[in-house]
Amino acid sequence: MIQSIDDKAIIKIKKAKGGSLFFIDDFLSLGSAKAVSKALERLVARKEIDRVARGIYSRLAKDRILGPLKPSAEQIAEAIRRREKSRIIPTGSLALNALGLSTQIPMNVVYYTDGSARKIDLGSRTIVFKKTSAKNLATIGKISTLVIQALKEIGKDNVTEREITIILDHLKKEEPLRLINDIKLAPEWIRIIMRRAL
């Protein structure tokens, strides 16, 4: 019996762990983009997979109590980064939230990227990828990258001692070599704050 694109696609999807994200490109060995797209939509209609956003699908991970778990904006952004082999860094309110400087979960998540600029609609939230210069993506420390973006969002004249204390606590967990590298890439007023962590 000849297997349909639907059958081959669901076999591939079921082999991956729950919560994995898939793009149409992942199935192009099975048929044309149009045929694959139609097959994935049929799998969505049969409730075998979920459509996370336009062109992005998942077999949702399931929690015993909470039921199906939708992937986070961060997981989707990371999957796009891997697929494009691009660099991304979280900006603004996303960086503030990640460092505990804000409890607000941003509805619009913005990343700087050297990949394609795009906007992904997740229904109640959006992910925006903004093209930026190589210099903005040259930081190598996960924590120090977030700190630079968070401080830029707060602004030189608005940053409080309390916020600086929280930031310095985070920076103590950064690898010193990464921190030294990233301090050089920050604006001067941010460098002064970050050097206090060394």
Please give the pLDDT value at position 1: 57
Query: CA–CA separation, 165 vs 95, rounded Å?
Result: 16
Please give the pLDDT value at position 3: 79
Please give the pLDDT value at position 59: 92
3-state helix, strand, coil split of the chain in percent (to 5) is 45, 20, 35
Query: CA–CA separation, 117 vs 128, rounded Å?
Result: 8
Please give the pLDDT value at position 105: 82
Quickly list DSSP for 15-52: HSPTT-EEEGGGGTTTS-HHHHHHHHHHHHHTTSSEEE
pLDDT-flagged residues of the chain (< 70): 1-2
pTM for this predicted structure: 0.85
Please give the pLDDT value at position 180: 96
Q: Which domains does the chain have, with CATH numbers?
A: 5-69 (1.10.10), 73-195 (no CATH)
